[in-house]
Each structure stands twice: as structure tokens, then as C-alpha cells.
Amino acid sequence: MTDSNFQIIAVDNDSRELDKIRKAFDLLKTPCLPILYNEGDNIDEKYSNIRIAFFDINLGG
């Protein structure tokens, strides 16, 4: 498990949208860990201390 300095993560399958989310948190001076998800990815990394998670993943084809 990764002990992260981030308490907010954002997961998206669209890098442009993920960048917009990250920039919005940057404007708020709030650290946010962006995670780009691609269909079929197996995310093995585990994070601790996460308080807020945003998921914007298109699960439909």
C-alpha cells in the first residue's frame, strides 16, 4: 500500500478531462492525484489516506 501525500484522487479514461480536473484542483491549491484509466487496465497500486475520490469512467462501449 502506498502512503500518499494526496487525499484526493481523480480517475478518468479521458486524459483531456483528467487534465481539466487536475487544473481545477491546482487553482484551489489542493493536491489531487490524477490517474488515467484505460479499459482493461488492472490497477494494482493501493493508496492510503484517500478522503475523496472522483471517478469519471465511460463503462459503455
Q: Is residue 61 part of a domain?
A: no
In the block, cell 486524459 appears at 15
Of the pLDDT bands very low, low, confident and very high (cuts 50, 70, 90), residue 4 is low
Q: Decide if 37 is inside a domain.
A: yes
Q: Provide the domain limits for residue 9.
A: 2-56
Residues whose CB falls within 8 Å of the CB of residue 21, separated by 6 or more in sequence, listed in order:
10, 12, 32, 34, 54, 56
pLDDT of residue 2 exceeding 90: no
Indicate whether this model's pTM tops 0.85.
no
Q: Provide the number of structural domains found in the chain.
A: 1
